[in-house]
Amino acid sequence: MPTRPLAPGVYIQEVSFSSHPIPSVPTSTAGFVAVTGRGPLLGPLASFADFQRVAPPNLGVNLPLAVHGFFENGGQSLYISRIDGTDPLESGLTSLDEQPISIVCCPDDSTIPNSAAVMTAYCENRKDRICILQSPQPVLPATQQPPVRSAYAVYYYPWITVPPLTGATPVTIPPAGHIAGVYAQTDAQHGVWTAPTNVPLVGVTALSQDLTPVETATLNAVGIDVITTIPPFAIRLLGDRTTSQDPNFQFIPVARLMIFLEQSIFNGTQWAVFEPNGPALRVVVSSAIADFLTRLWQAGALKGNTRNQAFFVRCDETTMTQADIANGIINIVVGFAPLQPAEFVIIQITIVTQALPTPPRPPSARGNDKPCQNAP
């Protein structure tokens, strides 16, 4: 509490805001929605052994193999929402709402009508996760197009053949579980800004369709990422496209980096909502964001030889009106240069703080005061 001055005079009191470094949100936790019959949410699971300990029997074929492939390919944390065949897919997705998930897929989406549109709409509404979609059947015509167009959706083809968990006959399944594991592995080793492409798929013995280089290029051009065999190496993921037709968000690492930045900055600046909106607060918040982006640039997440080439943070009279300031609204515009060939990508963060008190209205010059004698 300030000390009351003991004598007349001008006194200066420094008021400071404590530093609030912005932490990075996790990016590699996956959420599966499986048609296995209703049951409680499973997770977080850290290994296939965890899944085996808690999973009930008779979960079908796709889910256990998808979970096994997720961890075999580098997955680290997984939640599983289980629904009945008659339940809407939305109910299974909603069960994942409160979990720190950034990757969503449904191993059984080929059995659910309109599943691609439902999963994409869910991710677009939340803006904190993407969905991995897969072709509805093992072999598709060469004219296949993605079922949706979105920066929050990626689409893979064809299906994969894997060893069974029991028995001797190989099984052909949709690939999303294995691909989610590759995403997690890439994030852990290189960062969310790195494309999950040209990566071998562990535990995959064959594909439902072998694609030629021409077919691969044709599918990539329309936003379909392919799995292909590259002799004498291994079966690998090729392509790093979302299904979006927006040039700024056609690449998976750009779209995921945008989500990562938005969520990290949003979560890391929540403390500011309890502070009065003034110049000092805006400087501290802007500096915290700039420090966060500097760390990412130094880690190789952003393009540019200098900080100014890699990003900018703007929070001034060009981003806010006087009405915004009076209402406790801070608008922060952030631009960043992703590694993929794209222009600056712009995001806007809005923080609603405590509104400044309304200053007292000055006394009217036309009240009971006498007018100036020299006034015209």
pLDDT value for 340: 75
Nearest by Cα to 269 from 14, 102, 19: 19
Nearest by Cα to 159 from 216, 117, 204: 204
pLDDT value for 66: 98
The answer to whether 45 and 77 are in contact (CB under 8 A) is: yes
pLDDT value for 130: 98
pLDDT value for 362: 45
The H-assigned helical ranges of the chain are 48-54, 62-72, 89-94, 115-126, 176-190, 213-221, 252-268, 279-298, 307-310, 322-326
pLDDT digits (tens, 9 = 90+) for 218-237: 999 999 999 999 877 789 99
pLDDT value for 341: 59
Strands 160-162 and 206-207: antiparallel
Mean pLDDT by 10 residues, the chain (376 residues): 57 58 95 95 97 92 97 97 95 97 96 96 97 94 92 97 92 97 96 93 95 91 93 86 93 96 94 85 93 96 95 90 87 91 69 61 41 35
pLDDT digits (tens, 9 = 90+) for 45-71: 999 999 999 999 889 899 999 999 999
pLDDT value for 373: 35
pLDDT value for 239: 87
Fold of the 269-352 domain: Dihydrodipicolinate Reductase; domain 2 (3.30.360)
The answer to whether 235 and 160 are in contact (CB under 8 A) is: yes
The answer to whether 153 and 243 are in contact (CB under 8 A) is: yes
Q: What is the number of helices (H) and of strands (E) in the chain? A: 10, 15
The alpha carbon torsion through 133, 134, 136, 142 (nearest 10 deg) reads: 120
Among 3.40.50.261, 3.90.76.10, 3.40.50.11780, 1.10.357.10, what is the CATH number of 30-254? 3.40.50.11780
Locate the domains of the chain by residue range. Answer: 30-254, 269-352
pLDDT value for 230: 84
Whole-angstrom Cα distance, residue 295 to residue 288?
A: 11
